[in-house]
């Protein structure tokens, strides 16, 4: 069960439109390392997680990612508000506009549609938590790349900087989750079995 | 808190909400940290107070917070991506 709160996690107030930049930032909504993928990944992985404290981490970070989807969608909406036809025709927004006008549709900057093929929920908690840590790093570096593209747009820069910082906190929390889980396993061989599936280590 | 204008009150809600999120994530992996628990409780108290005040004075933030005398006011105010709202 979720409840919606009618506010952004962090304010977004962009004064100047920039269709080109909107095309790039779109990747953090529907791209391979975007917020929709992050939320889907963590909220799906919860069900196979044997440690209830780690279920809490996946639930709370997954929920925060839903808020980040809303922030990224807000950035794109404000960057494409009241665009003129000249601005659309002269920017990389041209192709997106044909199918979606200035609506929000999750895709990568390259135009590839959002796909769950970019994420995993393996049913193996150790594998999943490693994936989650990698995912946070990939999202962090994508925000780094975006920050280099919006050096002259302080309103956008500020919101992207906030989102980048959250990736680092999430990475830290997933690292701690992995350690908490490993503390309950055989320290000589963490990977001897799947703690969510095998009852005990198989005889090999 | 009562003297804050609408914009500043929203800012207080957003910043205390952020602290509640941050402390919750930290406590998920450090449940025994009494100092962090105290910080969480303090920001949660401020957040709840600010939300109650905002919903009473201005507009609902969830559909559990609609003031009866205003009727169904959930859709009356701008949504978060509409600039006027910040």
Residues on chain B touching A64 (C-beta within 8 angstroms): 21, 25
Residues on chain A touching B78 (C-beta within 8 angstroms): none
Q: What pLDDT score was predicted for residue A204?
A: 53
Q: What pLDDT score was predicted for residue A190?
A: 76
Q: What pLDDT score was predicted for residue A196?
A: 86
Confidence check: pLDDT of A169 > 50: yes
Confidence check: pLDDT of A199 > 90: no
Is pTM beyond 0.80? Reply is yes
Confidence check: pLDDT of A188 > 80: no
Which residues lie closer than 8 Å to A193 by C-beta, 6 or more apart?
A: A200, A201, A202
| Closest-CA residue of chain B to A55 | B28
Structural domain spans, chain B? 1-59
ipTM: 0.95
Of A5, A11, A180, the CB nearest to B29: A180
Confidence check: pLDDT of A201 > 70: no
What digits encode the pLDDT tens for the residues A4-39?
999 999 999 999 999 999 999 999 999 999 999 999
What digits encode the pLDDT tens for the residues B1-44?
999 999 999 999 999 999 999 999 999 999 999 999 999 999 99
The whole-angstrom distance between B6's CA and the closest CA on chain A is 13
Confidence check: pLDDT of A202 > 90: no
What digits encode the pLDDT tens for the residues A117-164?
999 999 999 999 999 999 999 999 999 999 999 999 999 999 999 999
Q: Which of A4, A11, A132 to mutate to test the interface with B (most CBs of B within 10 A)?
A: A11
Cα–Cα distance measured from residue A61 to residue A57, given in angstroms and rounded to the nearest whole number = 6
A191 pLDDT band, cuts 50/70/90, is confident
- Is the CB of A177 inside 8 Å of chain B's CB atoms? yes
Give the tokens for residue B8.
């500043």
* Cβ–Cβ below 8 Å for B11 and A74: no
What digits encode the pLDDT tens for the residues B44-86?
999 999 999 999 999 999 999 999 999 999 999 999 999 754 4
- Name residue A107's beta-bridge partners: A113
Q: Residue A58: count other Cβ atoms within 10 Å of its Cβ.
A: 25
Q: What pLDDT score was predicted for residue B84?
A: 55
Identify the helix (H) or strand (E) that includes residue B51. Answer: helix B34-57
Confidence check: pLDDT of A194 > 50: yes
| Burial group, residue A95, by CB count within 10 angstroms (0-12, 13-18, 19+) | exposed
Q: What percent of chain A has pLDDT over 70?
A: 97
A107 pLDDT band, cuts 50/70/90, is very high
| Closest-CA residue of chain A to B31 | A53
């Amino acid at each position: 069960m979720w409840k919606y709160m009618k506010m952004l996690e962090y304010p977004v107030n962009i004064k100047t439109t920039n269709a080109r930049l909107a095309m790039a930032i779109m990747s953090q909504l529907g791209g391979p390392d975007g917020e929709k993928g992050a939320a889907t990944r963590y909220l799906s992985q919860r069900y196979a997680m044997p440690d209830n404290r780690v279920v809490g981490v996946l639930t709370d970070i997954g929920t925060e990612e839903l808020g980040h989807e809303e922030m990224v969608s807000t950035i794109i909406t404000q960057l494409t508000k009241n665009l003129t036809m000249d601005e659309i025709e002269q920017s990389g927004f041209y192709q997106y506009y044909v199918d979606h006008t200035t609506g929000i549709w999750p895709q990568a900057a390259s135009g590839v549609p959002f796909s769950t093929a970019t994420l995993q929920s393996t049913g193996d908690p150790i594998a999943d938590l490693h994936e989650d840590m990698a995912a946070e790093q990939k999202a962090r570096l994508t925000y780094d790349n975006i920050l280099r593209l919006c050096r002259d747009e302080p309103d956008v820069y500020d919101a992207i900087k906030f989102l980048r910082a959250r990736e680092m906190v999430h990475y830290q929390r997933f690292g701690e989750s992995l350690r908490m889980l490993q503390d309950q396993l055989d320290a000589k061989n963490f990977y001897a079995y799947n703690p969510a599936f095998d009852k005990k280590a198989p005889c090999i | 808190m009562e003297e804050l204008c609408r914009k500043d009150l929203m800012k207080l809600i957003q910043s205390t909400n952020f602290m509640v999120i941050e402390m919750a994530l930290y406590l998920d992996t450090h449940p025994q940290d009494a100092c962090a628990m105290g910080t969480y409780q303090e920001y949660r108290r401020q957040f709840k107070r600010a939300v109650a005040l905002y919903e009473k004075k201005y507009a609902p933030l969830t559909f559990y917070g609609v003031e009866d005398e205003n009727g169904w006011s959930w859709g009356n105010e701008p949504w978060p991506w509409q600039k006027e709202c910040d």
